[in-house]
Structure 1
């Protein structure tokens, strides 16, 4: 699964009989944006699931064992359940039970954590070292920066707090090199720029422990 921020595009009418005509479509999102726009970011293992009768196709409720939290300490310090639509056409996400550790992001509604295909949901072993370091400290440093998507040339930044995201122009496609290996971090003078490296840009303000 790839990190997305998304829109559910409903194809067909809103009548219950036409729910099967719906499809989930998400716009590309850099992992840092997914991190900064989420209420909850955790690493967890799925240990159970059940289908409950909510919505037209029901809701899948995953029971998880939280391994580590990266974002959401003040909102919900310990997450036990993750909710998602049962239908993938409504952006529901399918997770394996007792098989993998996952990086899970989501939003909190009415005291429950919800996630889906348009959130950043990925097997932990599929993340790059740079993405893991981003989750631990780099992405947080860049939440005041803006990642500007570039779909067509020419592209330009319009303010000093922007980083130009060009993965969509690459021959390698999306997600690309910037998604996998870079974070957009505020540097000296208030300018935001792409950062990659083993050492943090400013050791005085970063806890550089590995995730």
Structure 2
């Protein structure tokens, strides 16, 4: 079993739609959290795949063409192969070959990159403009902030470095407005808040609040 499965809870045949697949459940994660908690974040096209008989179901190894790297420069500046479980029940990811470009976030273990359904994996053409801007610089600016998931409102911050993420309550578990359009970024006063807008003049810190 690959290392990223340590955070996965396998619960029979419960399906969670966007957040997981049959028998694979994952805690909901804002794209910024996925970015900040990943070893590798890249934009890539899958150009090949093969099945290796490891474990009960095997491992899929995707050969990729890396288009751009957003995180992981010092750990693995160029990624050629992506590993995932062959079975979706173990959170394996199915990617199309020579069809789409993908945004891939993953972990490095023993010199290999692993991805799973609990990572943020999305077709590039499905990302919003705000999410693409987040990958370039905004998410990085918010890695010292904490995104607090709100399931049942009202929810409140417990420290100044928190942003309350309400998509789980407002969008019935599907990606909502904050997921698609906002980043949680530290302000000049030291507190964190949701931000949406054009790039600030000073990219090291943001002094703007957009509720």
Q: In the TM superposition, what whole-angstrom CA distance separates every residue of 1:27-73 from its partner, at most 9, and x where no partner exists?
A: 11000000000000000000000000111100000000000000000
State whether residues 195 and 209 of structure 2, in contact with CA within 8 Å, keep that contact through their aligned partners in structure 1: no
Could you tell me which residue of structure 1 aligns to residue 22 of structure 2? 22
Structure 1 length normalisation: TM-score?
0.87
Q: Structure 1 36/23 Cα, relative in aligned 2: closer, same or farther at 3 Å?
A: same
State whether residues 23 and 90 of structure 1, in contact with CA within 8 Å, keep that contact through their aligned partners in structure 2: yes
Secondary structure of 2:51 counterpart: strand
Displacement of 1:6 after TM fit?
Answer: 8.4
Give the distance between the partners of 2:83 and 2:21, measured in 1 at CA.
23
Q: In the TM superposition, what whole-angstrom CA distance separates every residue of 1:159-209 from its partner, at most 9, and x where no partner exists?
A: 110001001121465210000000000011111010000232734669999
State whether residues 59 and 84 of structure 1, in contact with CA within 8 Å, keep that contact through their aligned partners in structure 2: yes
Q: Structure 1 20/118 Cα, relative in aligned 2: closer, same or farther at 3 Å?
A: closer
Give the distance between the partners of 1:209 and 1:51, measured in 2 at CA.
48
Displacement of 1:18 after TM fit?
Answer: 25
Q: Structure 1 201/31 Cα, relative in aligned 2: closer, same or farther at 3 Å?
A: farther
State whether residues 4 and 34 of structure 1, in contact with CA within 8 Å, keep that contact through their aligned partners in structure 2: no
**Which runs of no fewer than 5 residues in structure 2 stay unpaired?**
none
Q: Structure 1 13/142 Cα, relative in aligned 2: closer, same or farther at 3 Å?
A: closer
Displacement of 1:10 after TM fit?
Answer: 3.0
State whether residues 147 and 164 of structure 2, in contact with CA within 8 Å, keep that contact through their aligned partners in structure 1: yes
Could you tell me which residue of structure 1 aligns to residue 135 of structure 2? 135
Q: In the TM superposition, what whole-angstrom CA distance separates every residue of 1:75-127 from its partner, at most 9, and x where no partner exists?
A: 00000000000000000000000000000000000000000111000000000
Q: Structure 1 18/44 Cα, relative in aligned 2: closer, same or farther at 3 Å?
A: closer
Q: Structure 1 153/172 Cα, relative in aligned 2: closer, same or farther at 3 Å?
A: closer
Secondary structure of 1:188 counterpart: coil
Task: Give the number of equivalent residue pairs.
Answer: 211
**Cα RMSD after superposing both structures:** 6.0
State whether residues 51 and 59 of structure 1, in contact with CA within 8 Å, keep that contact through their aligned partners in structure 2: yes
